[in-house]
Chain A
Amino acid sequence: MSLKLDPRTKLYMIFVVSAVVMMSATTPFLWAVRIIMIPIFLLIMEKHYAAAFRFLIFYGTALLLTFKFLSENSEGFLSAFLVGYCGIIVQFMPAMITAWYVVRTTKIGEFVCAMQKMHIPDGITISLAVVMRFFPTIKEEYTAIRDAMKMRGIMLGGGNAAGMIEYRLIPLLFSCVNIGDELSAAAVTRGLGGKVKRTSVQELKMKAADYLLMLLFTAVLVVFVVSKYIR
């Protein structure tokens, strides 16, 4: 069974999760809340099993290391390294997983429609939509550039440390600027940016699952705020 969530719910999820990861958790109870809200189960619902599994292992390992093997008394380089590393993962991974889930499961059409329903100005909506559209393009271009570097034998910068970044970024910027330019030319000839109110064939409706999740996430937010700032 696949669960189709409304993009508005997804955006709300991102908002709550980002807010929560920025408030550092202090008690085991809060940890538990944070782990429950990891949207891994959503990924499973959407049949992204491999991704769900990978995230689970990754996050689980970091969590295990943090609680079992690291404490304030840990010493040595490895522990220092691990504290930093696991700390970051444990702290911010939930937000990353949520974002990954949202980007992977939301069609651009749905997203644009949701933004319109929330009365966000078209300028903002379209820019965000273009950003989403651009991720796969950047990936394609980047792969091609990496291949070219491999062939030239300059993966490590060709004896020039700055080269490692320079040789990747400069061609990437050039081609992205070009593609972006052609892309917007093509979009305006098809009527983007007109004065007419844009319509959408997507039909969005909040379902029971959406309300349920929103409720759950609101509850999480409340628990965090109350236990951290009020109690």
Chain B
Amino acid sequence: MMQTIAQINNVTHRYKGAAENSLDGVSLTIKKGETLLLCGASGSGKTSVIRLLNGLIPHYYHGDMTGDVTVNGLDIVETQLYELAGVVGTVFQNPRSQFFSVDTDGEIVFGPENIGLAPKEINARKEIITKQMNLDSLLGRSLFELSGGEKQRIACASEAALLPEIILLDEPSSNLDMEAIKMLHEIICDWKRQGKTIIISEHRLWYLNDIADRVVYMDNGRIAHEWNAKDFTMLSDDETRQLGLHPTSINERYLALLSDKDDTGKCYIDIADGILLKDFYFSYHHKPYILRKNKFSAADGDSLSLCIPKLMLPKGKVTAVIGSNGTGKSTFLRCICGLEKDCTGVIVSKGKEYRKRQRIGFSYMVMQDVNHQLFTDSVEKELLLSMKVKDVKRCHEILDTLGLLEFKDTHPMALSGGQKQRVAIASAIAAGAKLLLFDEPTSGLDFAHMEKVGELLRQLADSGSTVLVSTHDPEFIEQCCDYTLRIKKGRLFSFEERNS
């Protein structure tokens, strides 16, 4: 019989100022050394359970709470947060906002310094962790220049340095590509071998198949279901879909879609009525110049971070842009919509050429963090801001098609993540953009929301817009994309119609 390490006993919790309970009579017993997977839709209470276990509820996020929580023999309500530091470690969803230092070394030792270990001991721990997790190449670097996957590894290392018994991970794969997810998988496996108790809240389920011992499904702040690992992986795609979950496994076909292939496929499809992209060359390193900047061209060869001489995008279709992180997907999108001024590319549509700043009017990018794109204090004003000729009637039409009309007077920041995304799309349509670009719109979304985004993109394409979307989610590509465009090191690698 395994020992119990954490116990949540009939906890009901409501965040301060919230209308509904975030947790509603949750009871959960966690055994020492087990790996527990929490799944369920966004807002179902997964994160709240994580926060209960690390003490952020009730000590940091205040609210009304009843019931009690015991972790490693400590009563959470009576225990101060800093006393839990060496007991429970948390890897948060967004590495960007969990780093305290600006350099990797400082980040790893931050926790041990806080709990007052002797410098000698801290350095010894750092060395062990570095060896265990293969971090040599990351030491001594600025956290701001690391890729998403590297950031997540440092985040894991900085937790491990505190040697916690229990490790919590809150949607750790949200911003990661295939390779980085595999790396994360390795890290979790290592922890499991060391006998740590691991609790993971996650939307992407396939990479946890061989890790999780037990799966808890949450719905509306309650624990609605519980499976052991074997039963859970047996769930069919239809069953998981009904629960609003991502599939528990992804087919070989999917994996082939996303893993790095080396063979080049067909790169150019000739379509009579398409959007032609010409001469897209760009590099983040300027060429030395005295008075006039030298333009990038194909002759710059290997130094280019983007090199796409010619590409025909099919009009009215959804094209998925795939490739691992840091391989130039975002650069590609930024160049198309004219955000990178030094890129000289030309967009040709219906015989008309769009150069430089004209590209901004023709295309529009919905960013990964839509918060950056909302400027006004009501949804209606947000759209009117985009219109050259302020047309309230047209504005309402657009809002209606996107199901936002009832929110027209709401402050955009008060909306949910999905609604914000729709407002950003609405203002793109209002601006009259024909080519809509999406930079990883599905990262961190649950299955139901992902499907909604997919439907929306289809709807946009069917009404005549051309959509280009970068993504790491194979299910999403399956659902809504007509073409896949693979980019590797800024070069076109293959461009294929998906035969459905």
Residues of A within 8 A of B (CB): 107-109, 129-130, 132-133, 136-137, 140-141, 144-145, 147-154, 158, 163, 166-167, 170-171, 174-175, 178-179, 182-201, 203
Contact = CB atoms under 8 A, between A and B. Distances in A.
B173 interface: no
Nearest to B161: A190
26 contacts: A108-B102, A109-B103, A133-B102, A137-B96, A151-B339, A154-B375, A158-B385, A163-B375, A170-B375, A174-B413, A179-B96, A182-B97, A185-B60, A185-B61, A186-B90, A187-B110, A189-B88, A190-B110, A190-B158, A191-B162, A193-B81, A194-B114, A198-B114, A199-B113, A201-B122, A201-B123
B141 to A, nearest CB: 12
Contact size range, B = 35 or more
Per CB-CB distance, the 3 closest pairs between chain A and chain B, nearest first, are A191-B85, A194-B82, A191-B114
A137 B337 CA distance: 24
A179 B115 contact: no
B72 to A, nearest CB: 14
A133 B371 contact: no
B84 interface: yes
A199 B98 contact: no
Given A151-B339, A189-B81, A192-B82, A183 B98 contact: yes
A171 B371 contact: yes
B484 to A, nearest CB: 25
Interface in B99-122: 99-103, 105-106, 109-119, 122
B375 A167 contact: yes
A108 B106 contact: yes
B427 interface: yes
B474 interface: no
A191 B89 CA distance: 10
A131 B24 CA distance: 38
A117 to B, nearest CB: 13
Contact of B361 (A149, A153, A179, A193): A153
Interface stretch (B307-315, B362-370, B393-401): B362-370
B237 interface: no
A194 B87 CA distance: 14
Contacts of A132: 102
B10 interface: no
A188 to B, nearest CB: 5
Given A175-B371, A175-B372, A203-B119, A151 B360 contact: yes
B373 interface: yes
Contacts of B114: 190-192, 194, 196, 198
Interface string B347-386: 0000000000000110011010101111100000000011
A145 B375 CA distance: 9
With a 10 A CB-CB cut-off, give which of B54, B83, B97, B427 has the most chain A CB atoms.
B97
B116 A188 contact: no
Contacts of B413: 174
Contact of A150 (B99, B144, B360): B360
Contact of B100 (A150, A179, A187, A201): A187
A144 B158 contact: no
Interface in B58-84: 59-61, 80-84
Given A183-B97, A199-B119, A109 B360 contact: no
B7 interface: no
B94 interface: yes
B125 to A, nearest CB: 10
A141 B96 CA distance: 11
A182 B371 contact: no
Given A147-B367, A150-B339, 4 more contacts: A186-B99, A189-B85, A193-B82, A201-B123
Contacts of B83: 194
B431 interface: yes
B102 A136 contact: yes
A149 B158 CA distance: 36
Nearest to A202: B119
Given A109-B101, A188-B60, A151 B337 contact: yes
Contacts of A109: 101, 103, 105-106, 109
Nearest to B427: A152
A111 B385 CA distance: 45
B387 to A, nearest CB: 10
A154 B382 CA distance: 12
B332 interface: no
A189 B84 contact: yes
B86 interface: yes
A136 B144 contact: yes
A148 B367 contact: yes
Nearest to B117: A199
Given A186-B100, A190-B162, A144 B367 contact: yes
B92 interface: yes
Interface in B208-232: none
A183 B337 CA distance: 32
B115 to A, nearest CB: 5
B354 to A, nearest CB: 14
